[in-house]
Structure 1
Amino acid sequence: MELREVKKVSKVYMFPEDWMTMRLCDLADIVTGSTPPTHDLSNYGDEFLFASPADLGSSKYIDETEKKLSAKGFKYSRKFPKGSILFTCIGSTIGKSGMARFAITSNQQINAVLPNKNYNSDFLFYSLSYLSPSIKALAGEQAVPLINKTQFGLTWVTLPTLPEQAAIATALSDMDALIAQTETLIAKKKAIKQGVMQRLLSPVDADGKMKEGWVERRLGDCMSTSPQYGLNASATAFDQSLPAYLRITDITEDGKYSTKNIASVNSPLSSFFYLQKGDIVFARTGASVGKTYLYRISDGPLVFAGFLIRIQCDPMILLSEYLFYYTHSKPYYDWITANSMRSGQPGVNGNEYQELRFWMPHDVEEQLSTVKGLQGMSDEIDHLGLKVAKLSEMKQGMMQSLLTGKIRIHQQTHEPATTI
């Protein structure tokens, strides 16, 4: 099959000759959202979804929004019908998108592409998602990145026939559904784990009686050394010749080390701040105060930063893994809330962390049994997380192949057909 060259957003793409290339503005109506007057509280309620950039990007469909409108507020807003594609066009989140499962509206940071018979809405959603990096590049490096409606409308979109659009959209939607199904399973297993953790870490059994052999300890009495504050130094771009730098932002909510924005540190003092097996670091300030990370050898050499505090447990008294699981329990975060809000800037210092009191089995072997049970559940959740990452990677490959015509799909069977 012959391919033709189409210049689009400063890049050259090759498309099958039977595909059509159009400007987005010639293909569909584009509408910018609006915000009902905020001084009139009667415009807001819990009846109708009111999308902002924060509500886009996590999944294909927009099923929930942080803010909602009343019937009055929705009546006077610009409504987007079911099937509309919402695309963020201002701010740092340019390119985030989502689809309306039912009628919705948005604020003015979002442009909506309204559905019509000229294209398959699902196909166009995936096309714009695929093109989002190129569209975002049009905003440049201004103080407030912005792509106005006219610029957005000039985006080149290349489409096959409607039946092939539907076939491609179905294949990608099936992958999205599989990802969503796995994410739902992860959420379910996390909820189960949280319930099991609450039961295992409680000193009271199901009958309301104190468990035999449990004691209340002060964290400072379970440590082998005093708390140590991290290294105060500036992060640098990652360099394999320098140690990796662990900052608060590198710790996920479930206490893992994220390598998404890995950085290094260049300091003659670095050698004093390397984490060792069994070390736990506690976030001591800011919105993430209380967040913890248990160092794993598999994460590689790490130097911990200044807003973190290192705690080293005495393994004859307290297993660091047991303490780590405790720091993800409700009693712990209740303690963090009570102790971190004494000043304008939330924070808990090393001396205050030593005063943390909690219940634990006196017998270290019983602590180990608890850790093993919870670790098994954690490993299962991690495995599912890797599955989601793999499926997402596969989806990106599918988008690159299907949305450019590199791989064609039989319209009846949705099976790949070789064309080039």
Structure 2
Amino acid sequence: MKAECSAGDIPTGYKQTEVGVIPEDWDVKKLEEVVDIDADNLSAGTPVDYAFNYISLEDVDEGVLRSYSSQIFGSAPSRARRRLRYGDVLVSTVRPNLKSHLLFKQRQGEWICSTGFSVVRCKNSSAVPSYIFAHLFATTIPKQIESLLTGSNYPAINGKDVKALLIPLPPTITEQKTIAEALSDTDALIESLEQLIAKKRQIKQGAMQELLSPKQGDKIRFLKEVSSLKGRIGWQGLKQTEFTINEEEPFLITGMNFKDGAIRWNEVYHISEERYEMASDIQLRPADVLMTKDGTIGKVLYIDTIPYPGKASLNSHLLLFRPIKWSYYPKYLYYQLCSQRFKNFVEESKSGTTFFGLSQAAVGNYPVLLPPMEEQVNIATILFDMDSEITVLEEKLAKARQIKQGMMQELLTGRIRLV
């Protein structure tokens, strides 16, 4: 791998290397020159009653240890072999493109990880673990890994590949530490936002449980009694080849466009005006509620506004709900269909063996709770305000991640020097 620039593009004080342009006083080394790799493993003679905490590939998600299990050597998975200690870097060698890497920070107990990881242990005064770890999520090392995977039938690398990975290194440990600390500060902000979002979601779930549960005075009606349920009849001859990206034409919404109750309009295809006019029953308007009825069943969407040209239809995998004679507040129904009560109903009602579906008739038999209209509005407003707060935090989180990615690109290549 070589990122090349012409001589005129290289700034003064920088040089072209196998991993791109870096400062003249930086060096490029193979990982094996500055770290030990897979140096500490359990032997076949390990006592069968040896107890430890075990980390599998599935337990790690992009730098976060989501879970682990307690094991006894005699009954542990055969891959449970790599010994761990504080500061080790776990490099996922199986499906490394998923970036299930981890900086190990546990100080207490016996810890073992799967041989699906290569364990990188920094040699004294040669490298800083957090600096090495940061490179796994930047561009230099992922590009090398991607090159190794090209043409392979099985997405994996081995310990030999890891040893040969090239990494740019500042001239001093102090500079490595300074870079790692700057990135760690950003990580702390990201982690705090993630925790706050998780807490807000938990609070919202509790509020939904409380607000959407049956209460004295609530009416119960079958959904088909209070709402029209409309869907595209088959495809009405509509073919995928008719989908366009012409932004002047009406939208065609599919379940793939749903995300957290909102729609990603920039990803929605368009259909001709003629096709749009052929199905007047499913011409969408603000305050409509949509739901997927097959494939990924029960994903729900509330139509707030429809961007230019202000016209949208839906494909045959969706159902459209619209109140009969203002029998319910649409946003309240949206939250009812997001409730655990409705999810349980879907699980009990879906049919199929390999491809599940939910019939329009089955959905119509859902017993929907209907408090007085004023209460419906209040409930929907409370939950919508919670959603709005979560959305603001998610936007801050996305911005923080974007800033970190930019910092990594600048700091880990020496474009910006902190010492």
Q: Is the 8 A contact 1:283 1:292 kept in 2?
A: yes
Q: Which residue of 1 aligns with 2:190?
A: 179
Q: Is the 8 A contact 1:233 1:265 kept in 2?
A: no
Q: Which residue of 2 aligns with 1:18?
A: 25
Report the CA distance between 1:166 and its aligned residue: 0.9
Q: Residues 400 and 302 (structure 1 numbering): CA distance in 2 closer, same or farther, change over 3 Å? A: farther
Q: Is the 8 A contact 1:284 1:307 kept in 2?
A: yes
Structure 2 Cα separation of the partners of residues 336 and 275 of structure 1: 24
Matched residue pairs, number? 387
Q: Residues 349 and 130 (structure 1 numbering): CA distance in 2 closer, same or farther, change over 3 Å? A: same
2:92 aligned with 1:84, yes or no? Answer: no
Write the deviation string for residues 288-317 of structure 1: whole angstroms up to 9, x where unpaired: 311211123266665533332222233610
Q: Is the 8 A contact 1:61 1:98 kept in 2?
A: yes
* 3-state DSSP of counterpart to 1:387: helix
* 3-state DSSP of counterpart to 1:407: coil
Q: Which residue of 1 aligns with 2:133?
A: 125
Q: Which residue of 1 aligns with 2:340?
A: 330
> Which amino acid counterpart does residue 294 of structure 1 have in structure 2?
Y
Q: Is the 8 A contact 1:33 1:108 kept in 2?
A: no
Superposition pairs of residues 124-273 of structure 1, within 5 angstroms: 124-131=132-139, 132-138=141-147, 139-160=149-170, 161-204=172-215, 210=216, 212=217, 214-224=218-228, 226-228=230-232, 231=235, 233-234=239-240, 239-241=245-247, 245-252=252-259, 254-258=260-264, 262=267, 264=269, 269=275, 272=279
Query: Which stretch of structure 1 is more off in the superposition, 385-394 or 273-282?
Result: 273-282
Q: Is the 8 A contact 1:80 1:114 kept in 2?
A: no
Write the deviation string for residues 117-150 of structure 1: whole angstroms up to 9, x where unpaired: 2211011111121035413421114443333333
Report the CA distance between 1:17 and its aligned residue: 1.8
Q: Residues 203 and 91 (structure 1 numbering): CA distance in 2 closer, same or farther, change over 3 Å? A: same
Report the CA distance between 1:240 and its aligned residue: 4.4
Q: Which residue of 1 aligns with 2:386?
A: 377
Report the CA distance between 1:238 and its aligned residue: 7.7
* 3-state DSSP of counterpart to 1:113: strand
Q: Which residue of 2 aligns with 1:100?
A: 104
Q: Which residue of 2 aligns with 1:408?
A: 417
Q: Which residue of 1 aligns with 2:71?
A: 69
Structure 2 Cα separation of the partners of residues 34 and 367 of structure 1: 61
2:294 aligned with 1:285, yes or no? Answer: yes
Structure 1 Cα separation of the partners of residues 40 and 291 of structure 2: 42
Q: Which residue of 2 aligns with 1:314?
A: 324
Q: Which residue of 2 aligns with 1:413?
A: none
Structure 1 Cα separation of the partners of residues 50 and 255 of structure 2: 36
Identity %: 24
Structure 2 unmatched runs, 5+: 1-11
Q: Residues 387 and 121 (structure 1 numbering): CA distance in 2 closer, same or farther, change over 3 Å? A: same
Structure 1 Cα separation of the partners of residues 39 and 243 of structure 2: 38
Q: Is the 8 A contact 1:245 1:263 kept in 2?
A: yes
Structure 1 Cα separation of the partners of residues 378 and 175 of structure 2: 56
Q: Is the 8 A contact 2:27 2:169 kept in 1?
A: yes
Q: Which residue of 2 aligns with 1:55?
A: 60
Report the CA distance between 1:158 and its aligned residue: 0.6
Structure 1 unmatched runs, 5+: 205-209, 411-420
> Which amino acid counterpart does residue 348 of structure 1 have in structure 2?
L
Write the deviation string for residues 7-52 of structure 1: whole angstroms up to 9, x where unpaired: 22xxxx2211222210123222333999999xxxx9999x623221
Q: Which residue of 2 aligns with 1:304?
A: 314
Report the CA distance between 1:113 and its aligned residue: 2.0
Structure 1 Cα separation of the partners of residues 50 and 256 of structure 2: 34
